Chains A and B, each alone.
Chain A
Amino acid sequence: MLAAERVSFAYESAAPLVVSDVTVAVRRGEIVGLLGPNGSGKTTMLRLLAGTLTPTRGAVRIGDAPLSTLSRRELARRIAVVPQETHSAFDFSALEIVMMGRYPHLGAFELEGADDLAIARDALAATGTAALESRQFATLSGGEKQRVVIASALAQAAEILLLDEPTASLDLGFQLDVASLLAQLNRDRGVTMVVSTHDLNLAASLCTTLVLLKAGRVIASGTTRDVLTQAHVRELYGVDADVALHPRAGHLTVVPLGRAQ
């Protein structure tokens, strides 16, 4: 449903390509993981998929429509983005943050109605943050903030959720919370997701498909089981790792052993 076809991108015309000839296909109901070392073009690729950047070459389509033919508002009704961290300059409540997700569905002077409030409350409930509704966003913990921002993206009622390192600044407990929340949203609500992450074990537990990016190019893509291998981990990060199916977790796990010689 969301597909990048041979997409290249440079921030300036003379600058080197940050993303080069990348093809990614996201099918309905999938969770696609975007893996790669720092500076490999993951965030840029997410922004291209979100339509906030326009490819220098190639095109990104949602359904049959190239993203460039849709207005910002139309795009926001179909694609929602969860950034790595969210800070507010002012004291909004959690509910107000979630209600902001309704923006693309409202006219310039239209006020949120009872429907919008119901959608926002439902999103809060789905992310386990209903009790935080009237708390000031700035006073929430990192994990609570991230779940409220995910609720805000859910309230946007988009078909696709793009998440940029959603667990990067969270402790182990909150990482698990966010990961199981994403799995549950995918299972119960059929939300399609693209997740960029450095956490290989998160990717292994959550993603059905992986795309491995290195220096802006795809070095491998396919099902998690096929793509997450010792050889690929070494190629991506220069690290020797033990990749094995964990009997109790029920998915692949990656244990780094040392720098590859």
Chain B
Amino acid sequence: MLTVAGFGAVAIAVCVVAPLVGATSISLARVFDRSIAFADNVDAQVFFVARLPRVLAAVLVGGSFAVAGVVFQAFLRNPLASPDTLGVSSGATLGAVVVITFHIDTAFRGVSPVPVASFAGSAGALGVVYLMSVARRRGTSSTVLLLGGVALSAFLGALNRLVQVVGDYTDVFRSLRWMMGSLDVGSYTDIVVPLVPMIAALAAIATLPRVLDLVSLGEPAAESRGVDVKNAERVALISASLLTGSAVSIGGPVPFVGIIVPHMVRLIVGADHRLVLPGALLFGGSFLVVCDLVARTAFGPVGMPVGAVTALIGGPFFLWLLFRKFR
């Protein structure tokens, strides 16, 4: 419990500190100085308008990927499962790449169609996942579900490359940038809309921690202890897919967070999902804020896609955790 509270404290700290860092240096005291009007307070404007939306986007995207990863890993009983495993990320990517390549991405009333298309793409993949889970109730194993996801992922990835071949050089470059992930949101509007499905999915997942514990012992074990596995599986897969889709629509398919953060959290708090789920939400969020901070500051004014940084920082950190544990 204390560790999860620690994760919470870290999350709040990074949300306050991260917006202070950047090309223009600002002071925390001035940001919250009520004696200066907001219109005259440049520091507060930089903090709240220019940087905080991006930090919040990072919290939401990181937390969502990490929680979705926890749920997929428990339900598929496979530590290598991740939000990408069932093809939801590939679906989202395909949606975005189609819109970019065929130039149907002119903003409509200030809303860019790229996130909308990526969300639609993930919803399409989610439909297939749902059908697979229905088919699974007729006796196929979770391994089949996993294989189906891998196949769907590969198929959507192939379509995605096919679309890119059609595009010209700049389209492909834009697509590539998008696929590496970027949290460069323009305003709060960009994160408020996906927040709705995210909150719904998180609320559904909040009912599941004990179920996830039991399901990780196997379906018969869970059933005999009173879990309605069929129902729980549907809620879990749909919620986790919804989280993935919303997160991808904000930040692109940021790699690594969904597969490794759950394991980082388990190495720290243990296997109990009542600790792992909130831990993953908070730690995943903080982790991505830090990665994004590095991405936008460490490489000069150009900045780096956050997707390139997650594995750069997370890989060695995860290996360190592993070695510390098994030394």
- Residues of A bordering B, CB below 8 Å: 11, 47, 50, 52, 71-77, 79-81, 83, 86-93, 96-97, 100-101, 103-104, 106, 108-109, 111, 156
Residue ID in chain B nearest A164 by CB atoms:
B220
Give the Cβ gap from A153 to chain B, nearest Cβ, in Å.
8
CB atoms of A89 and B79 under 8 A apart = yes
* 20 sample A-B contacts, Cβ–Cβ < 8 Å, listed by A number: A52-B220, A72-B223, A76-B224, A77-B226, A83-B218, A83-B220, A86-B218, A86-B221, A87-B218, A88-B217, A89-B217, A91-B271, A92-B271, A92-B272, A96-B213, A96-B270, A100-B217, A104-B225, A108-B207, A156-B225
Task: Other than A76-B225, A88-B217, give 20 A-B pairs with Cβ distance below 8 A.
Answer: A52-B223, A75-B226, A76-B224, A77-B226, A83-B218, A89-B73, A89-B77, A90-B79, A91-B271, A92-B213, A93-B270, A96-B270, A96-B272, A97-B217, A100-B210, A100-B213, A100-B225, A108-B207, A109-B207, A156-B225
Residues of B within 8 A of A83 (CB): 218, 220-221, 224
CB atoms of B226 and A90 under 8 A apart = no
Residues of B within 8 A of A100 (CB): 210, 213-214, 217, 225
Question: When the two chains form the complex, which single residue of B78, B270, B274 contacts A91, counting CB atoms closer than 8 Å?
Answer: B270
CB atoms of B224 and A50 under 8 A apart = yes
Residues of B within 8 A of A89 (CB): 73-74, 77-79, 216-217
CB atoms of B266 and A91 under 8 A apart = yes
Give the Cβ gap from B43 to chain A, nearest Cβ, in Å.
42
Residues of B within 8 A of A90 (CB): 74, 79, 216, 266, 271
Residue ID in chain B nearest A74 by CB atoms:
B226
Residue ID in chain A nearest B216 by CB atoms:
A89
Measured in the bound complex, the distance between the Cα atoms of B225 and A73 in whole Å is 7
B316 close to A (CB within 8 Å)? no
Residues of A within 8 A of B74 (CB): 89-90
Give the Cβ gap from A72 to chain B, nearest Cβ, in Å.
5
**How many interface residues does B have (CB within 8 Å)?**
26
CB atoms of A76 and B226 under 8 A apart = yes
User: Which of B221, B228, B266, B270 has the largest count of A CB atoms less than 10 A from its CB?
Assistant: B221
Give the Cβ gap from A201 to chain B, nearest Cβ, in Å.
27
Measured in the bound complex, the distance between the Cα atoms of B213 and A108 in whole Å is 13
Residue ID in chain A nearest B138 by CB atoms:
A12
B residues 64-94 with Cβ under 8 Å of A?
A: 73-74, 77-79
Residues of A within 8 A of B272 (CB): 92, 96
Question: When the two chains form the complex, which single residue of A87, A103, A111 contacts B214, counting CB atoms closer than 8 Å?
Answer: A103
B139 close to A (CB within 8 Å)? yes
Residues of A within 8 A of B210 (CB): 100, 103, 106
User: Which of A77, A86, A103, A104 has the largest count of B CB atoms less than 10 A from its CB?
Assistant: A103
B227 close to A (CB within 8 Å)? yes
